[in-house]
Amino acid sequence: MIAYAKGARTFERHIDIDYEGVPVSPYCTLPEQADEWFKAFRKAQEMCGSPGVAKRVPPEKEVRYLDELVRGIYARRDLPAGHVLSEADIYRAVPLLKGQLSCREFVTGEVLRRPAKADEPFDLRNIDSSYSADPALLQLVERRGADPLLPVGLEAQTLVASN
């Protein structure tokens, strides 16, 4: 798997079987070992994607799973409209909600378009930045993450703060 990931594309294997009491040489591969080797090779191909010329497109199930682990950006305290955000103004926590700015997009120096209450998730549309005007990014952010309305009492169990 490592060889494939590092760029090797040609592999040589000597496959042998025990026959008439003559043992297989230590450098040879038994058929069942070859099966394991090919499974690892196929897994490496799947994990690495195309060799250097195309980006791997992860399955939708994998994207959803990884998005569930992304931390959302929340207001550490009440902040006025026009406030220039810094690391001191925010905290990161799970879950990431639909439409919410994630730790992937947050950049110090962004400006709030409207006030934000303490512990409120930052909606991407409330941030004045070049990417908040990007329709494709807005559409992506609105689709990913958890639904904003959680059952009462679930917030304390679900939110996992991170500084």
Q: What CATH class is the domain 61-162?
A: alpha beta
Q: Is the pLDDT of residue 148 over 80?
A: no
Q: Is the pLDDT of residue 126 over 50?
A: yes
Alpha helices for the chain (secondary structure H): 2-5, 31-48, 60-69, 135-143, 154-158
Q: Enumerate residues 6+ apart whose C-beta is below 8 A from 24.
A: 16, 17, 18, 30
User: pLDDT band for position 150 (50/70/90)?
Assistant: low
Q: Is the pLDDT of residue 76 over 80?
A: yes
Residue pair 104/146 in contact by the 8 Å Cβ criterion: no
Q: Which amino acid is at 139?
A: Q
What is the mean predicted confidence (pLDDT) over 79-97? 94
**pLDDT 10s digits, 94-118:** 888 988 889 988 889 999 999 999 9
26-30, 142-146, 158-162: segment of lowest average pLDDT: 158-162
pLDDT at residue 156 in the model: 41
**What is the percentage of the chain residues whose pLDDT exceeds 70?**
88
Q: Is the pLDDT of residue 119 over 60?
A: yes
Sheet arrangement for strand 72-75: 72-75, 90-94, 160-162
pLDDT at residue 149 in the model: 67
More confident residue, 43 or 50: 43
Domain ranges of the chain: 2-48, 61-162
Positive/negative CA dihedral, 124, 125, 126, 129: positive
